[in-house]
Chains A and B, each alone.
Chain A
Amino acid sequence: MTALLQMQNISKSFYGVKVLDDVSISLSAGEVLALLGENGAGKSTLIKILNGDYQKDGGSVLIDGQPTEITHPRDAEKLGIRMIYQELHYAPELSVAENLVLGHLPRKSGALKWMVDWPKMREMARDVLTLLNVDIDPAAKMGSLTVVEREIVEIVKAVSRQARIVVMDEPTAALTPPEVRQLFGIIENLRSRGVGIIYISHRLDEIKQIAQRVTVLRDGKHVNTLPISEASDENIVQMMVGRKIEDRLHVRALAKQTSFGETALSIRGLSKADAFEDITLDVRRGEIVGLFGLLGAGHVALTRSLFGVERPDSGQILVDGAPVKIISPQHAKRAGIGFVPLDRKVNGLVLGMSVRKNITLSNWDKLAPLGVFSQGKELANTRAWVERLGIRMAGGVEVETRFLSGGNQQKVVLARWLEAGVKVLLLNEPTWGVDVGARSDIYDQLEALAAEGLAILMVSSDIEEVLNVSHRILTIYKGRITGEYSQAEANQEILLQSAAGGAQ
């Protein structure tokens, strides 16, 4: 049987830098191939070559065993190659049906062929939706759907026009576990109809569920391709990073800490309608408290309220034992609270600004007591943080943050608050979309910062992260704290049960 797709000995350079060096992958019909690698490993470039966005320097692409030249995304489209990117592109004010046939609107026949055939369009939309067992109202406005529904519509749209090869780039990055299951149902459906799927993800557990084979790239080279049954997590991670990471993904040995400093952050009976209710908790100096909940449990709204982005209805916030009034982020900052938001690209960073300017952004008390700053001092402080946190970027601190990988972007956000000298740090999903190597790096940094006396409240829906990095874990369900566990007591089962509202 010839493979559906073969990319053989692909090479590509930018500015004389080899980004892909002799990389080969193959994909059969009805197969899910997981494509893994850290940021910069060459996954995106490979995919862009497949889609005709970039031209390969060497190697060949075969479809059904036939050598094929793909020089433009149009060629890829004709060959049945479909890309589903992390950032979805859709028209929020149009209906699901319109989005599905966008660019291919059915017309009436005869003299009225310049008019859209609306009934036909609705019928077409209903057909593809039922074909894939998707229960979404074709008349609903795209903007009113949930993230996973939009993503599913995007997939339906991609495959509705004779798709043969579907590439998904981190499709689950913004999804909750039930939504992931929903997405996997769709993928299984596609598979059963002979579509080949290239699945890019950082989440190893998902890959094990959905993929048949896994290909690992590192530094533009093909490291290995294995059937999923032969790939262990340790094995994969080691192939990805090229060095052994002391098994941090499973049981990360957080230094046993028994004594902490004074209470830095206290929350007393904090409530906000439709978000959270009667939240009382303390975070001590040197302590990392994990707040685990499923998406929508109210923990994100809680940190936003603590930081003054939203206003709680009642309750009290104390920093170092003194009540503080927080009605805006400036108040929170003045009180010594830092905030790492959920979406670093939108809320965390000014992407068009340099690493240096992002780190010193709004941190002027030390740099510029009179409002006028010294560039030398700014540079020195920036460099110190870059070194301390191990922020890696091509081109130094003047490079715009949009060119950094997810992990390094997150470190820049961290550096800003550390530069500000905060006492309490609120973290939201600190390693979303961050690759494995950078993730363990960030965990090490958090631990080190806590050891220096920082109080950290970490909100996460990643259970391994919560288990591995927290000294103490609270679970939240429907806006209420449902459990509190020490590092020793907590395990996956207990936390999941507690965060799903089960018995305590």
Chain B
Amino acid sequence: MTTSVREPRRTTPSSRWAWLRGDRLTTINLVLTFVIICAVFATQSQYFLTIENFLNVGRTLGVVGIVAIGMTLVLVTGGVDLSVGSVAALSGVVTSILWTKSGIPLGLAAVLGLLSGTLVGFLNGYLVAVVRINPLITTLASLSIIRGLAFVMSEGQTNQLNNDAFKFLGRGEIAGLPVSLIIMISLYVIFILVMSYTQFGRNLYAIGGSPDASRLAGISVTRHLLIVYTLCGTLAAFGGLIISSQLASSAPRAAVGLEFTVIAATVLGGTSLAGGKGTLIGTLVGVFILRVLDNGLTQTRISSFYQDVVGGLVLLLAVGFDQIRLKLTDKLGGGRK
């Protein structure tokens, strides 16, 4: 067996593994977790490793995946947005009411539904960045307010949103792939580039790492926070439109608890609640893990009551493991002062 050595051999193991640090290692851990979970389910269910099943999972990824982009950005700045589930419900309600009750064309109604999320996001951002209310409090309040508004506007009723063009968003397929999945992947590509190759992305990490230092370096912290919360609201509203499209209706109680799933996926993906750390790749893998877990557990006929338990445990295990690893590397590598 002959293999050509392309690179000169490096002398110390530490330099050879130097690239395997921090975010990268977190992501690799996650991918391994994902593979292990898949392997376990594959042994438990014959149906699990079929293309049909993967497309099934794919259809459920879009909403959580898209909303998790906005959540990752917000968490990276050191904030949080609890209102995403309510905003998702609001956008569906606004769209259906404008279409059915006010007679506005569905396309325009959907855009306005999306903009309702943009507006809520902007207001969240304004309260956090300008009025300086703690983001947890701000968005906890808007979670309640927006959910309430969705009920008020719809009078608690489920509204039909039965339109073929609109259904395409949530149920359509292009070349055999769910449209929502394609949109999600495209958004990830765009935002991954934004986060790693633009000034805007870099600034978000800096703001999360140290808002004071960022401000004194000449970054407008206020403007960046406004943009990030606005984006998060908009993406949540977009997720809400996909839900309405999948259900062909809008309900004020749609997407209850979405914030939990989305934050769980994001944190699972290595984003720090303290801000300054996190990658969208990690978030994407986190979304995959949570969704595959749901899917696999359903197939193995484990009671759905246990699914929430398992979801929470996986989150704790993954994040706990990462914390222990960070502690170890800090102790060994940073011990010398």
A binds B: yes
Interface residues on A, range: 35 or more
**A14-B335, A19-B336 given; A371·B198 CB < 8 A:** yes
* Chain B 243-278 interface mask (CB, 8 Å, partner A; 1/0): 000000000000000000000000000000000110
Q: Which of A14, A332, A347, A368 contacts B213 (CB 8 A)?
A: A347
Q: Is the CB of B276 within 8 A of A361?
A: no
Contacts of A333 in B (CB 8 A): 218
Verify if A45 is at the interface (C-beta below 8 Å from B): yes
- Quote the shortest CB–CB distance from B207 to chain A (angstroms): 9
Q: Is the CB of A416 within 8 A of B337?
A: no
Stretch from A102-110, A155-163, A272-280, A351-359 contacting the other chain:
A351-359
Verify if A403 is at the interface (C-beta below 8 Å from B): yes
Q: Which of A329, A351, A368 contacts B209 (CB 8 A)?
A: A351
Kindly name the residue among A40, A333, A361 whose own CB sees the greatest number of chain B CB atoms within 10 A: A361
Verify if A114 is at the interface (C-beta below 8 Å from B): no
**A332-B218, A349-B210, A362-B203 given; A372·B198 CB < 8 A:** yes
Complex Cα spacing A329 to B222, Å: 12
Q: Which of B205, B209, B212, B335 contacts A54 (CB 8 A)?
A: B335
Q: Which of A339-355 contact B (CB under 8 A)?
A: 339, 341, 346-353
Q: Is the CB of A350 within 8 A of B277?
A: no
Complex Cα spacing A174 to B219, Å: 28
Verify if A44 is at the interface (C-beta below 8 Å from B): yes
Verify if A39 is at the interface (C-beta below 8 Å from B): yes
Complex Cα spacing A17 to B332, Å: 12
- Quote the shortest CB–CB distance from A153 to chain B (angstroms): 26
Q: Is the CB of B336 within 8 A of A17?
A: yes
Complex Cα spacing A40 to B337, Å: 6
Contacts of B277 in A (CB 8 A): 352
- Quote the shortest CB–CB distance from B16 to chain A (angstroms): 15
- Quote the shortest CB–CB distance from A348 to chain B (angstroms): 6
Contacts of A402 in B (CB 8 A): 334
Q: Which of B198, B210, B337 contacts A351 (CB 8 A)?
A: B210
Verify if B216 is at the interface (C-beta below 8 Å from A): yes
Contacts of B198 in A (CB 8 A): 368, 371-373
Closest-by-CB residue of A relative to B209 is: A350
Verify if B306 is at the interface (C-beta below 8 Å from A): no
**A333-B218, A341-B216 given; A364·B337 CB < 8 A:** no
Q: Is the CB of A339 within 8 A of B216?
A: yes
Complex Cα spacing A214 to B213, Å: 37
Q: Is the CB of A348 within 8 A of B216?
A: yes
- Quote the shortest CB–CB distance from A87 to chain B (angstroms): 13
Q: Is the CB of B209 within 8 A of A352?
A: yes
Verify if B45 is at the interface (C-beta below 8 Å from A): no
**A350-B210, A353-B205, A372-B198 given; A44·B337 CB < 8 A:** yes
- Quote the shortest CB–CB distance from A358 to chain B (angstroms): 8
Verify if A307 is at the interface (C-beta below 8 Å from B): yes
Q: Is the CB of B199 within 8 A of A373?
A: yes
Verify if B200 is at the interface (C-beta below 8 Å from A): yes
Q: Which of A17, A44, A351, A361 contacts B219 (CB 8 A)?
A: A361
Q: Is the CB of B336 within 8 A of A362?
A: no
Contacts of B197 in A (CB 8 A): 372-373
Verify if A328 is at the interface (C-beta below 8 Å from B): yes
Complex Cα spacing A54 to B336, Å: 11
Kindly name the residue among A45, A352, A371, A403 whose own CB sees the greatest number of chain B CB atoms within 10 A: A352
Kindly name the residue among B205, B276, B335 whose own CB sees the greatest number of chain A CB atoms within 10 A: B335
Q: Is the CB of B216 within 8 A of A307?
A: yes
Complex Cα spacing A416 to B210, Å: 16
Complex Cα spacing A44 to B336, Å: 8
Verify if A486 is at the interface (C-beta below 8 Å from B): no
Verify if B134 is at the interface (C-beta below 8 Å from A): no
Verify if B215 is at the interface (C-beta below 8 Å from A): yes
Contacts of A40 in B (CB 8 A): 336-337
- Quote the shortest CB–CB distance from B329 to chain A (angstroms): 11
Contacts of B100 in A (CB 8 A): none
Contacts of B214 in A (CB 8 A): 350, 361-362
- Quote the shortest CB–CB distance from A300 to chain B (angstroms): 13
Q: Which of A363-380 contact B (CB under 8 A)?
A: 364, 368, 371-373
Q: Which of B6-65 contact A (CB under 8 A)?
A: 14
Q: Which of B182-231 contact A (CB under 8 A)?
A: 197-200, 202-203, 205-206, 209-210, 212-220
Which residues of A line the B interface, CB within 8 A? Answer: 14-15, 17, 19, 39-40, 44-45, 54, 307, 309, 328-330, 332-333, 339, 341, 346-353, 357, 360-362, 364, 368, 371-373, 402-403, 416, 420
The 14 listed contacts between A and B (C-beta, < 8 Å) are: A45-B337, A329-B218, A330-B218, A347-B210, A347-B212, A347-B216, A348-B216, A351-B209, A353-B209, A360-B202, A361-B214, A362-B214, A371-B199, A372-B198
The 7 A-B pairs at the shortest CB distance, nearest first, are namely: A333-B218, A350-B209, A44-B337, A364-B199, A362-B217, A350-B210, A362-B218
